[in-house]
C-alpha cells in the first residue's frame, strides 16, 4: 500500500491510477447540478469526480474524493481504517520504559511524534498567484450552491486556521462558509467548536483567519477530526502522513498555511461583524435554519497556477461525509479506550448523522457498569453531544445492527434499563425543544444480574462444539448446496 500522498494533485493521480476517479469534460453548473450528479454517484458507491469544465469558472472541481471505504484507506495508505488506529494506539499506550530495549523503542515513538510537528518553509506553491485588495474575487471560484433551499453558494471543504489569542496554539477546523459577496463569507463556527472559542478569547474581538482549500486528503481529514483544543490538528496530520505538514507565512495576516494548498483565503473575523447565515441543506438530512454567525472579510486570495477546487456535498445520509465520520470513529477508538478501557468497540451509524446514536460494547464487570459507560460517553469530547447511547456486551458485534437490535429487543426492561438524561446536543439538531440542549437516551442492552434487580439471566442458545464439528465433517453427505455457513 502506497504512503499517503503529499498534495491534492498527487492524490488525484493516485485515484486515477487506481481507477477511482472519472474526469467529466462536459460543462456542468455549480448551481445544484453538481450536487445531483454527485449524490447519485455517492449513493451508488461510485468514483471521485473531477469536473474540468465548471460553468462560470476556469478552475476544475474535485468531489467525492472521500466517498468510499477503499478511497479513505488509499488516502491513509492502509488496508483497513483500523490500521490507522493501531499506529496511534502504539504511541498512546507508551508506558514508562523499563529495560533498555523498551527505552530505545519508546525513543523511536517519541521521535515519530517530534517528526510530526509542522515545519516552516520559505516558499509554497499555494502562493504562486497572490491577489489582494480589489483583485480578491470569490466569483472566480466554482463554489457550489448545494440544495434548492440554500440562499447562496457554500465553500464546504475548507481547513480554517486560527490561533488561540491566549496560548498561541493553532487550530484547524472544517466549517462551511456561505459566500456573501466577492470578498466575504460567513464563518459557521458552532458553539462547541475550537474556532469559535478562539474568536471569543480575542481581547479586541477580532482574529486573523486563514483558510486552506485543496489539501492532501490526510491533512484535509485532520481539519474535521474532533481533537481536544490543545492538540494541534496539523501535528496529527503529520503523524498520520509520516511526514510533517510544511507551512508558509501568509501574505496579509500573521498565520501560516500548508504550503501545498491549492487555494488560500486570508482575512479576519470580528465578533461584532455578524449576519444571518443559512439555511443550509445539512448532514442532518434537513435544512438547518438561518442563524446569526460572524463574517469572514478576505484580504487576500493566493493560489497555485491552475488551482483545483475541492468540494463536498452533505445531505440525507449516506453522503460523502460518511467515510470522513467512519475514519474518525476508527481512529479515535484507542483514544476513547484510554479513558474508558472497558469499551471494546463502538459504532456511529451513518443514519445517525454523527451525533444521534452511539453503539458501544463493553467488558462488563459490575452492577451499573453499562450506565457508567453511558455517562462516560456523554462526557467525552464531541461524543458528549450524542443523543442516544446503546450499550451491549463484548460478544455483540456493534457494526451488525441486526445483532444489536436483537439484543436491545431481547435484553431490555424499559423501566429498569433505559436512562433518560439531559445535556448538550448538536447545535444543528432540530428535534430538541431548546437549541443545543435537551434529552438523552441510554439503553442498557447488556445481560443483567440480580444485583441490578434482574431475575436469574438465562443462557443464550448455542449448539455444542461436538455437534457443530460433526455437521461440518458430514456436510457433503447431506447433499445440501453449501452457502457460507
Ligand atoms: C464536510 C464537513 C463540514 C462541516 N461543517 C461544519 C460547520 O459548518 N460548522 C462546524 O462547527 N463544524 C462543521 N464540521 C465539523 C467540524 O469540522 C468538526 O467538529 C471539527 O472537529 C471542528 O474542529 P475544532 O474541534 O478544532 O473546532 C464539518 C465537518 C465536515 C466533515
Ligand atoms: Mn481543534
Q: Give me the average pLDDT of each 10-residue run along the chain (485 residues).
A: 92 98 98 98 97 98 98 97 88 67 74 88 98 97 98 98 97 98 98 98 98 98 95 94 96 98 98 98 97 98 98 97 97 94 97 94 98 98 97 98 98 98 97 98 97 95 98 95 71
Residue of the nearest CA to atom 22 in ligand 1? 173
240 within 8 A of 84, measured Cβ to Cβ: yes
Q: Which atom of ligand 1 is nearest to the CA of 382?
A: 19
304 within 8 A of 128, measured Cβ to Cβ: yes
Rg (CA), the chain: 24
> Would you say the CB of residue 188 lies under 6 angstroms from ligand 1?
yes
Cα of 441 vs centre of ligand 1, distance in Å, is: 24
Q: Provide the pLDDT for residue 348.
A: 97
* DSSP bridge partners of 421: 440
Q: Which atom of ligand 1 is nearest to the CA of 224?
A: 17
> Would you say the CB of residue 194 lies under 6 angstroms from ligand 1?
yes
Q: Provide the pLDDT for residue 94.
A: 61
Q: Provide the pLDDT for residue 97.
A: 61
Cα of 175 vs centre of ligand 1, distance in Å, is: 5
Report the distance separating Cα 35 and Cα 144, nearest Å.
8
Cα of 373 vs centre of ligand 1, distance in Å, is: 26
Q: Which three cell numbers stand for residue 227?
A: 481533537
Concatenated DSSP letters for 351-404? GGTTTSEEEEEE---STTHHHHHHHHHTTSGGGGG-SEEEEEETTS-TT-HHHH
The ligand that comes nearest to the alpha carbon of residue 159 is 1
Ramachandran quadrant class, 353 (left: phi over 0; alpha: psi -120 to 50; beta: rest) = left
Report the distance separating Cα 86 and Cα 102, nearest Å.
18
Q: Which residues contact 151 (CB under 8 A, 6 or more apart)?
A: 178, 278, 279, 290
* DSSP bridge partners of 298: 267
Instruction: Cite the active site residues.
Output: 282
> Would you say the CB of residue 90 lies under 6 angstroms from ligand 1?
no
Give the dihedral sign, CA 195/201/203/205.
Answer: positive
> Would you say the CB of residue 175 lies under 6 angstroms from ligand 1?
yes
Cβ neighbours, 10 Å, residue 102: 13
Give the global pTM.
Answer: 0.95
- N residues, the chain: 485
Cα of 61 vs centre of ligand 2, distance in Å, is: 27
Q: Provide the pLDDT for residue 120.
A: 98
Q: Provide the pLDDT for residue 1.
A: 76
Q: Provide the pLDDT for residue 308.
A: 98
Amino acid at each position: 500500500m502506497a504512503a499517503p500522498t503529499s498534495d491534492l494533485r498527487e492524490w488525484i493521480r493516485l485515484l486515477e491510477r487506481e481507477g477511482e476517479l472519472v474526469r467529466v469534460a462536459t460543462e456542468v453548473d455549480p448551481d445544484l447540478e453538481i450536487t445531483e450528479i454527485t449524490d447519485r454517484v455517492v449513493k451508488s458507491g461510485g468514483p471521485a469526480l473531477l469536473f474540468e469544465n465548471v460553468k462560470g469558472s476556469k478552475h476544475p472541481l474535485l468531489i467525492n474524493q472521500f466517498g468510499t471505504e477503499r478511497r479513505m484507506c488509499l488516502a491513509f495508505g492502509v488496508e483497513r481504517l483500523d490500521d490507522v488506529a493501531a499506529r496511534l494506539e502504539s504511541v498512546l499506550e507508551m508506558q514508562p520504559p523499563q529495560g533498555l530495549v523498551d527505552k530505545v523503542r519508546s525513543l523511536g515513538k517519541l521521535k515519530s511524534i517530534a517528526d510530526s510537528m509542522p515545519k516552516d518553509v520559505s516558499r509554497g506553491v499555494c502562493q504562486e498567484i497572490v491577489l489582494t485588495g480589489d483583485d480578491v474575487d470569490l466569483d472566480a471560484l466554482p463554489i457550489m450552491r448545494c440544495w434548492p433551499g440554500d440562499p447562496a453558494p457554500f465553500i464546504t471543504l475548507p481547513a480554517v486556521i486560527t490561533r488561540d489569542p491566549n496560548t498561541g496554539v493553532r487550530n484547524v477546523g472544517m466549517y462551511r462558509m456561505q459566500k456573501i459577496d466577492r470578498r466575504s463569507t460567513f464563518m459557521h463556527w458552532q458553539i462547541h467548536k475550537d474556532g469559535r472559542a478562539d474568536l471569543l478569547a480575542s481581547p479586541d474581538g477580532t482574529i486573523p483567519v486563514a483558510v486552506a482549500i485543496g489539501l492532501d486528503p490526510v491533512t484535509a481529514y485532520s481539519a474535521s477530526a474532533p481533537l481536544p483544543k490543545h492538540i494541534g490538528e496539523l501535528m496529527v496530520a503529520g503523524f498520520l502522513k509520516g511526514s510533517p505538514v510544511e507551512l508558509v507565512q501568509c501574505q496579509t495576516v500573521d498565520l501560516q498555511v500548508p504550503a501545498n494548498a491549492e487555494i488560500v483565503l486570508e482575512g479576519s473575523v470580528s465578533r461584532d461583524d455578524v449576519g444571518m447565515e443559512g439555511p443550509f441543506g445539512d448532514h442532518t438530512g434537513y435544512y438547518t435554519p438561518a442563524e446569526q454567525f460572524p463574517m469572514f472579510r478576505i484580504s487576500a486570495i493566493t493560489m497555485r497556477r491552475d488551482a483545483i477546487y475541492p468540494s463536498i456535498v452533505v445531505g440525507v445520509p449516506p453522503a460523502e461525509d460518511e467515510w470522513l465520520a467512519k475514519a474518525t470513529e476508527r481512529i479515535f477508538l484507542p483514544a476513547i479506550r484510554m479513558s474508558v478501557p472497558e469499551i471494546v468497540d463502538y459504532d456511529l451509524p451513518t443514519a445517525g448523522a454523527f451525533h444521534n446514536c452511539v453503539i458501544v460494547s463493553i467488558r462488563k464487570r459490575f452492577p451499573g457498569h453499562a450506565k457508567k459507560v453511558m455517562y462516560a460517553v456523554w462526557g467525552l469530547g464531541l461524543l458528549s453531544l450524542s443523543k442516544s447511547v446503546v450499550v451491549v456486551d463484548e460478544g455483540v458485534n456493534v457494526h451488525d445492527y441486526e445483532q444489536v437490535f436483537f439484543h436491545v429487543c431481547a435484553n431490555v426492561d424499559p423501566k429498569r434499563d433505559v436512562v433518560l438524561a439531559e445535556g448538550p446536543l448538536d447545535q444543528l439538531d432540530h428535534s430538541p425543544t431548546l437549541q443545543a440542549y435537551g434529552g438523552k437516551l441510554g439503553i442498557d442492552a447488556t445481560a443483567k444480574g440480580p444485583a441490578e434487580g434482574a431475575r436469574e439471566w438465562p443462557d443464550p442458545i448455542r449448539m455444542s462444539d461436538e455437534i457443530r464439528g460433526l455437521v461440518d465433517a458430514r456436510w457433503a453427505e447431506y447433499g445440501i448446496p453449501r452457502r457460507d455457513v
